[in-house]
Amino acid sequence: MATPLKAQIAVPRSSDKTVAGVKYNRSGRKRNNFEMYAWLYMRVSGVILLVLIFGHLFVNLMAGDGVHAIDFGFVGGKWANPFWQVWDLVMLWLAMLHGTNGVRTVIDDYAERDRTRIWLKALLYLGSAFAILVGTLVIFTFDPCPAGADPELLASFCPAP
Amino acid sequence: MTTQEKEAAEPASKVDLPQEQGGGGEIPTFDVTLRVRRYNPELSSEAYWDEWNLTMFGTDRVLDALHKVKWEIDGSLSFRRSCAHGVCGSDAMRINGRNRLACKTLLKDLDLSKPVIVEAIKGLPCEKDLIVDMEPFFQSYREIMPFLINEGHEPKRERYQSVEDRERFDDTTKCILCAACTSSCPVFWTDGQYFGPAAIVNAHRFIFDSRDDAGDMRLEILNDKEGVWRCRTTFNCTEACPRGIQVTKAIAEVKQAVLARAF
C-alpha cells in the first residue's frame, strides 16, 4: 500500500514575512466547515423564507377581510393556534439568522481592521440574540387576556373576569 | 542537372507588391488624451495624475500610447509588458475603470471624447506607476498547488485522457495569471486575505483533471475561511478576464465540489 498522498506532500504554506510593511501571509487559518454551512444555510433558509413570508403576507393581507381584519384580536387569535405559533417561530429564527449572517459577511467584506470587525460583530450578535429571544418569548407566552388586568384595557372577546 | 536548378532563384516575396505603398488607404489618426496615475515612492508618497495629448493611429492599442509616452516624451513612466500580444499577462491595468490588458485594448474602442484613464490594478501594493507587487497574488496561486499530482506509477508514455475528460476543465486552462480578475474583486480589495478568483481558477484546472489525484486536498484548502465561500458572485472577475474564462462559473463549480465532498 502506497503512502497516502497527504503524508507525501506537505501543503505549501505562506511563510511569515513582511515586505515594505505589507504582510502577505494569510492570517488565522481555521480548518472547519463553518463557512460552508453558513453559505449553504443562506440558500436553504432563503428558499424556505420565500414560502413562509409570502404565506404570512397572503394570510394577513389578502385572505378573508384582508388587511382590514388585522387588529389585536386577529394577532391574538393567530397565536392561540399552535400552527401559527410554529410558523411564526420558524420564520423568526430563519429570518433573523439569515439576516445576521448576511450582515456578518458585509462586515467581513467592508471592515478593514480586525478591531472594527470584532466590535461590529459583537454589536450585531448581541442585537440579533436579543431580537430572537424576545420574539420567541412573545410567541410562546402571549396571552391576549391576562388575568387580573384592568377590564377597561382588555379586548372585547376576553371572558369577563 | 535538373531543370529546376537552372531556374532563377525564388523571389523574396511571392506576393507582388505595388510600387506605391498605401494602396489599402491611410490608417486614420486621432488625438487621444492619456491620463495616467503616477506613483514614485522615491520622490513622494502621494500619487498624482499625468496627462498627455497624443496623436495615435486607428490600429493602436493603449499599450502603444504608453510606449509613445515612454519612448518619446517621458522615459520615467513605468509599466510592465513582455510579449505585448495578450499571451504573457504582464500588462494588466485598470483602463477607464475596468481591468484590461493594455496590449489587447484598442484605443478606437474607447470613448476618446474623454481622457483615457490608466491606473495600476487595485488591491495589490503599488511599487511604481503601473507596476504592482504581484507577490500576494502568486502566494495564493502557490498555495493551491498548481501542478499535477499523481499517486500512480509514472507511465512510460504520456498520460491518456479522453476528449470529454479534457473538455471538463478546458476553460480554466486558458489562464495567463495576469491578475486582472483577482484585482477586480471587491472582496480581495478589502484586506487581500481572500484567495481570489485566479487561484480558484487554477485549482479548478487540476481539481477537474482526471489525471490528477490531489483534487481533494485542493478542495480542503479552498474550503478555508478565505476560500471559495468569500465569493459573492459579483461577476467582476468574469467581466475582467482577457481570456474570456467563465471565472465565476468555475468558482461555483468548486463550491459545488466542496459541498459534494462534505455530503
- Confidence check: pLDDT of A5 > 60: no
Cβ distance B262 to A20 less than 8 Å, yes or no, reads no
State the best of B132, B134, B207, B226 to mutate against chain A, taking most chain A CBs within 10 Å: B226
Q: What's residue A152's pLDDT?
A: 72
Q: Which residues contact A58 (CB under 8 A, 6 or more apart)?
A: none
Cβ distance A109 to B232 less than 8 Å, yes or no, reads yes
Q: What's residue B11's pLDDT?
A: 57
Average pLDDT over chain B reads 90
The H or E element spanning position B98 is strand B98-101
B141, B256: one domain: yes
Pairwise CA distance, residues B254 & A88, whole Å: 36
B122, B66: one domain: yes
**Average pLDDT in the B189-208 region?**
92
Q: Domain total for chain A?
A: 1
Lowest mean pLDDT among A27-36, A77-86, B216-225: A27-36
Burial (CB count <10 Å: 0-12, 13-18, 19+), residue A158: middle
Min Cα separation B65/chain A (Å): 31
B102, B215: one domain: no
Pairwise CA distance, residues B94 & B208, whole Å: 31
- Asked if A160 has any chain B CB less than 8 Å from its own CB, the reply is no
With contact defined as beta carbons under 8 Å apart, do A128 and A136 qualify?
Answer: no
Q: What's residue A13's pLDDT?
A: 40
B141, B245: one domain: yes
Out of A20, A28, A33, closest to residue B262 by CB: A33
Nearest CA in chain B to A6: B217
Lowest mean pLDDT among A5-19, A107-121, B162-176: A5-19
Q: How far is CA B236 from CA B58, B99, B197, B255, in A?
A: 28, 9, 10, 18
Q: Look up the ipTM and state it.
A: 0.78
CATH number for position B50: 3.10.20.30
Instruction: Report pLDDT digits (tens) over B79-105.
Output: 999 999 999 999 999 999 999 999 999
With contact defined as beta carbons under 8 Å apart, do A112 and B190 qualify?
Answer: yes
pTM of the model: 0.83
- Asked if B230 has any chain A CB less than 8 Å from its own CB, the reply is yes
Nearest CA in chain A to B187: A109
Grouping H, G, I as helix, E, B as strand and the rest as coil, residue B263 is: coil
All residues of chain A having their beta carbon less than 8 Å from the beta carbon of residue B136 are 22, 24
Instruction: Report pLDDT digits (tens) over A58-93.
Output: 988 888 777 887 877 788 888 888 899 999 999 999
CATH number for position B209: 1.10.1060.10
Q: What's residue B6's pLDDT?
A: 57
B184, B124: one domain: no
Q: Domain total for chain B?
A: 2
- Confidence check: pLDDT of A10 > 60: no
With contact defined as beta carbons under 8 Å apart, do B250 and B200 qualify?
Answer: yes
**Domain of B258?**
135-147+165-262
